[in-house]
């Protein structure tokens, strides 16, 4: 059973596997990388291999990851989509704090434009923090992004870390291009959000596509007998099988696996060539998911 090589991000096709740049920052997504040259090499190799969308945020570092992207790739190749998220900020110790007031969202977009060296973002995700309790109405948050869109500072608006009710409310307020939620073969708590995206023609971009490190992540993939069985049958790694499962799960899914290793980057992109048949998918149906409750993951998805 083959899968398409592209999906839609708004009205534009993108490759099914992009690159999530969060891991290029230092420990805790804070401060400089352990190996700056390696981080730059990963970004350049990603583009060499055809990656056409990179997911980032100014609050990764902060500034660190965006500045790495700019150093590695600017002037950016034609057709490369740069996707960011706003809605959080970091304090001096690296803690994640909400930044969801309209003026904070505007500042977040401007900071991304500055640090990436661009005049317009291809997509900006509103990253909600349900546990923060800021009390800012969704209409005001999305209104700030819509104003920026009309000013030409962003092209598409997306949502991140949201439930079905929020997606439905947002769809009544602005054009929404996609949703970025935690989802993997190990965490299917956002299944209803994925189904809504399929119904409404929205992109669905899982963060932690290999499972959160806080619930076992890649190590748990390798330990699962069903995943190991399919990996052995296909001559693939457990991580490649998990990514291939997502590609088969829905044509609306675009993946942004992250890594700071060129070897892992190449392994992740090779998941596009892993073909799963009905027997494989039936075997993988036995994987027991362990979902993360919405909002229980670090804010730097």
Instruction: Report the C-alpha gap between 7 and 13 in whole angstroms.
Output: 5
Q: Which two tokens stand for residue 133?
A: 């309790």
Take residue 63 and report the two structure tokens written for it. 């500034």
C-alpha–C-alpha distance, residues 68 and 32, integer Å: 10
Residue 182, strand partner residues: 207
User: Is residue 60 annotated as a catalytic residue, yes or no?
Assistant: yes
* Dist CA 65 CA 61 (whole Å): 6
Dist CA 271 CA 17 (whole Å): 9
Catalytic residue among 59, 60, 76, 183: 60
Task: Return the H-helix or E-strand segment holding 47.
Answer: helix 36-48
* Rounded-to-integer distance, Cα 137 and Cα 73, Å: 37
Instruction: Give the CA distances from residue 157 to residues 42, 112, 124, 143, 194, in Å, rounded to whole numbers and listed in that order.
Output: 27, 15, 5, 11, 17
Distance CA 194, CA 253 (A): 8
Could you give the angle at which helices 64-73 and 36-48 cross, rounded to 10 degrees?
50
Pairing of strands 6-9, 12-15: antiparallel
Instruction: Say which residues have a Cβ less than 8 Å from residue 86's Cβ, sequence separation at least 6.
Output: 57, 58, 99, 104, 105, 108, 109, 112, 124, 125, 126, 127, 145
Task: State the catalytic residues.
Answer: 60
């Amino acid at each position: 059973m083959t899968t398409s090589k592209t999906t839609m991000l708004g009205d534009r096709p993108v490759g099914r596997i992009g690159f999530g740049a969060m891991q290029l920052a230092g420990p805790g997504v804070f401060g400089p990388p352990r190996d700056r040259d390696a981080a730059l090499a990963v970004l350049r190799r990603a583009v060499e291999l055809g990656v056409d969308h990179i997911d980032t945020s100014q609050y990764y570092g902060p500034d660190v990851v965006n500045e790495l992207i700019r150093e590695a790739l600017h002037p950016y190749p034609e057709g490369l989509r740069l996707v960011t998220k706003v809605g959080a900020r970091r304090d001096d110790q690296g803690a994640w704090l909400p930044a969801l007031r309209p003026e904070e969202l505007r500042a977040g977009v401007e900071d991304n434009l500055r640090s990436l060296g661009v005049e317009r973002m291809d997509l900006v995700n509103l990253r909600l923090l349900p546990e923060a309790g800021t009390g800012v109405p969704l209409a005001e948050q999305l209104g700030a992004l819509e104003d920026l869109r009309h000013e030409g500072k962003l092209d598409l608006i997306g949502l991140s870390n949201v439930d079905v009710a929020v997606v439905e409310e947002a769809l009544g307020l602005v054009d929404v291009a996609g949703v970025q939620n935690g989802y993997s073969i190990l965490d299917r708590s956002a299944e209803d959000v994925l189904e809504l995206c399929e119904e409404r023609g929205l992109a669905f971009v899982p963060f932690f596509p290999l499972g959160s490190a806080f619930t076992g992540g890649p190590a748990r993939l390798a330990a699962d007998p069903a995943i190991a069985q399919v990996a052995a049958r296909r001559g693939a790694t457990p991580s490649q099988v998990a990514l291939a499962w997502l590609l088969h799960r829905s044509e609306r899914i675009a993946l942004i696996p992250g890594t700071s290793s060129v070897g892992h980057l190449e392994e992740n992109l090779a998941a596009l060539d892993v073909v799963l048949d009905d027997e494989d998918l039936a075997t993988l149906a036995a994987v027991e998911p362990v979902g993360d409750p919405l909002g229980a993951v670090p804010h730097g998805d």
